[in-house]
Amino acid sequence: MITREAGAQTWTATGSMAETRIGHTGTALVDGRVLVCGGEVGVPTAASTTELYDPVKGTFSAGPAMTVGRSLHTATRLADGRVLVVGGRGTDDTAASTLSTAEIFDPKTGAFTATGSMASRRLDHAAVLLPSGRVLVTGGDDGTAFQSSAELFDPGTGVWSAAGTMAIERVAHTATLVGATVVVVGGSNGEPLASVDLFDPSAGTWSAGASMPVAHADHVALALDPTHLLVATGNATVTTATAGAELLELGKAWSPVAAAPNARSLGRALLLPNGTAIVACGRNAGGPIAATDAFDPRTRTWSSAGNLVIQRERCAAALLPGGRVLVTGGVSGLGYESSAEVYAPLGAGAACSASGACASGACADGVCCNRPCGGACERCDDGANKGTCVAVSGAKNHCPVAGQVCIDGLCRTGTGARCSDDGLAFEDTSGKRTSCNAYRCRPSDGACYDKCADSSQCAPGFACDGAQCTGGGSVDEGGCAMGHGPGSALGLAAFALVTGALRRRRR
């Protein structure tokens, strides 16, 4: 049964496609639009139709038809902005329907044209763009058997060439460029795999990589930087989805990281411009899921990225301008979907409960912050500065040493108070004001002077005499001497002269 989540703060519905689609692809174009290609529009009919999403208008329009219907294919944006669509399943579910053909969409002409075909038929394979501009395609199912072979596409000539063989046959795997190395991870050859194959594009050779601690198939994988690969979720067994995650540093062993909040297989993952990884769609034992998760590489922790408006598996996902994410189609509890929705990270100062919801990738003190803000004497919800991490006074954040509090942005020993803006009183962390009477407030610790070195440490109308602030004015609740405005010192002197003269006359 489908669940439509109310009040999701980061995912909202957008325009719907003209057709229902699963097993399709969504590819971000250079101009910000998204090209949606093929997929099943009925069981088991693969579509040749395409649609284009306009992120400004939030609407889909009909795109050009592909040369053949495809589902479970790959679509890779080339270095020149064109899109290479490879393999997949054709118009029926027979072995002969598995495709070896490829075609290219050119945004300049708005049309697809056929290009060279692979040596092998492939569906459920993986494709990755190499630094040279070529595309490496690995593994897949040829309709009768799983494949270990790989092929290279040269976009300059439109020709495919053999690229060697992996150590094992794989489908439902991932191939990710990490630095200058392609890391092929997991997948299945009838059982989920933990093994890893490494491809060196410059040498054109394969080698074995360190195996993962656990198996992953139909998982997600993202290069976090030129040396680190995140692998998460997927099927750990044929029937069991996992929330587990592993991190590979090239040349070193895998290390476990915290499990994702949700177990899923068939999820989709994207790396946002802020460095946060978003995982959406997929299924677990209960069916399609709506929950989405975010991984912060800086802290190596997971958090919620909100809920999709509708549960989805076998969706397509693409990155939009401004760090937004478009999710299209898939299967929900109601069947095939034509609907789509957009993830829009929250701006600075917006209320949040997890970093994954923020465009900056940082949630601190309950608001989206311009940067991680968890240090001593730092706040991101400080009045007019909300959304910006600033140093603050008062015991609002913990200091590392017991008994210390934040005073003028530093951890010091004191009461946790700060001087008022006029310097005549101190305020506690709740803003309660206490007058310093004849003295001023000492900025170093937010306390009132009780002795003076000079009159600058005394309130207006008082002077330092014998280390004490003395004077003739009375003091109100705010610490101000009554009747001591500009020229008050002259007034006091004149009052003293007149009083002395009166006393002499009486004698």
Buried b (16+ CB within 10 A) or exposed e, 37-76: bbbbbeeeebbbbbbbbebeeeebeebbebebbbbbbbbb
Residue 240 lies in a domain: yes
Cβ-in-10-Å burial (0-12, 13-18, 19+) of 376 comes to: middle
| Host H or E run for residue 25 | strand 25-28
Q: Quote the tokens at residue 51.
A: 């649609």
Residue 436 half-sphere exposure toward CB, CA atoms < 13 A: 29
414 has pLDDT over 70: no
- Cβ neighbours of residue 80 under 8 Å, at least 6 residues apart? 133, 155
- For the four alpha carbons of 493, 495, 501 and 503, in that order, the dihedral sign comes to negative
What is the per-residue pLDDT for 416?
Answer: 61
Judged on CB neighbours under 10 Å (0-12, 13-18, 19+), 4 is middle
Is the full-model pTM beyond 0.75? Answer: yes
pLDDT band at 503 (very low <50, low <70, confident <90, very high): very low
Question: Tens digit of pLDDT for each residue in 219-267?
Answer: 999 999 999 999 999 999 999 999 999 999 999 999 999 999 999 999 9
Q: How far apart are CA 62 and CA 417, in angstroms?
A: 64
Residue 442 — pLDDT band, cuts 50, 70, 90? confident
Distance CA 266, CA 256 (A): 21
* Cα–Cα distance measured from residue 432 to residue 124, given in angstroms and rounded to the nearest whole number: 66
CA pair distance 287, 312, nearest whole angstrom: 9
* Total count of domains within the chain: 1
Q: In whole angstroms, what is the distance from residue 195 CA to residue 211 CA?
A: 4
User: What's the whole-number average pLDDT of the chain?
Assistant: 87
Model confidence band, residue 507 (pLDDT cutoffs 50, 70, 90):
very low
Write the DSSP string, 232-284.
Answer: E-SBSSSS-B---EEEEETTS-EEEEPPPSS--BS-EEEE-TTS-EEEE--EE
CATH number at residue 260: 2.120.10.80
In a domain, 199, yes or no: yes
Q: What digits encode the pLDDT tens for the residues 179-232?
A: 999 999 999 999 999 999 999 999 999 999 999 999 999 999 999 999 999 999
| Residue 424 is assigned to a structural domain of this protein | no
Question: Is there a domain that residue 462 lies in?
Answer: no
Confidence of residue 349 (pLDDT cuts 50, 70, 90): very high
| pLDDT greater at residue 165 or residue 3 | 165
pLDDT score of 165 more than 80: yes
Which residue range(s) make up the domain with 330?
11-345
Looking up tokens 């991870």 gives 185
Range 432-440 average pLDDT: 89
Q: Read off the amino acid at residue 447.
A: A
Could you tell me the maximum CA-CA distance found in the chain, to the nearest angstrom? Answer: 130
**pLDDT on residue 472:** 63
Q: Token pair for residue 14?
A: 């957008």
Q: Where are the alpha helices (DSSP H) in 250-398?
A: none
Q: Is residue 109 part of a domain?
A: yes
* pLDDT band, residue 7 (cuts 50/70/90): very low
Q: What value does the mean pLDDT take over residues 417-438?
A: 81
In a domain, 457, yes or no: no
Q: Which residues contact 171 (CB under 8 A, 6 or more apart)?
A: 124, 125, 139, 140, 141, 146, 147, 187, 188, 189
333: in domain: yes
Q: How far is residue 487's CA from residue 475's CA, in Å, rounded to a whole number?
A: 17
* Total H helices, total E strands in the chain: 1, 46
pLDDT digits (tens, 9 = 90+) for 105-126: 999 999 999 999 999 999 999 9
Q: What is the dihedral of CA 143, 145, 151, 154, to 10 degrees?
A: 0
Residue 494 has pLDDT above 70, yes or no: no
Q: What are phi and psi of 243, to 5 degrees?
A: -105, 0
pLDDT band at 352 (very low <50, low <70, confident <90, very high): confident
Look at residue 393 in the predicted model and tell me its pLDDT. Answer: 64
**Edge-to-edge strand ranges of the sheet holding 245-249:** 220-223, 228-232, 245-249, 254-257
Which has more pLDDT, 70 or 402?
70
Pairing of strands 111-115, 126-129: unpaired
| Residue 194 belongs to some domain of the structure | yes
Instruction: Name the band, by pLDDT with cuts 50, 70 and 90, for residue 52.
Output: very high
- Look at residues 227, 230, 209 and name the one whose alpha carbon lies nearest to residue 219: 230
Q: Which long-range contacts (CB under 8 A, 24 or more apart) does 244-253 make?
A: 244/214, 244/216, 245/295, 245/302, 246/212, 246/213, 246/214, 246/216, 247/300, 248/178, 248/183, 248/196, 248/209, 248/210, 248/212, 250/178, 250/179, 250/181, 250/183, 252/210, 253/210
C-alpha 27: how far from its chain's center? 19
Encode pLDDT of 315-343 as tens digits: 999 999 989 999 999 999 889 999 999 99
Per-residue pLDDT for 44 more than 80? no
Q: List Cβ neighbours of 500 (8 Å cut-off, separation of 6 or more).
A: none
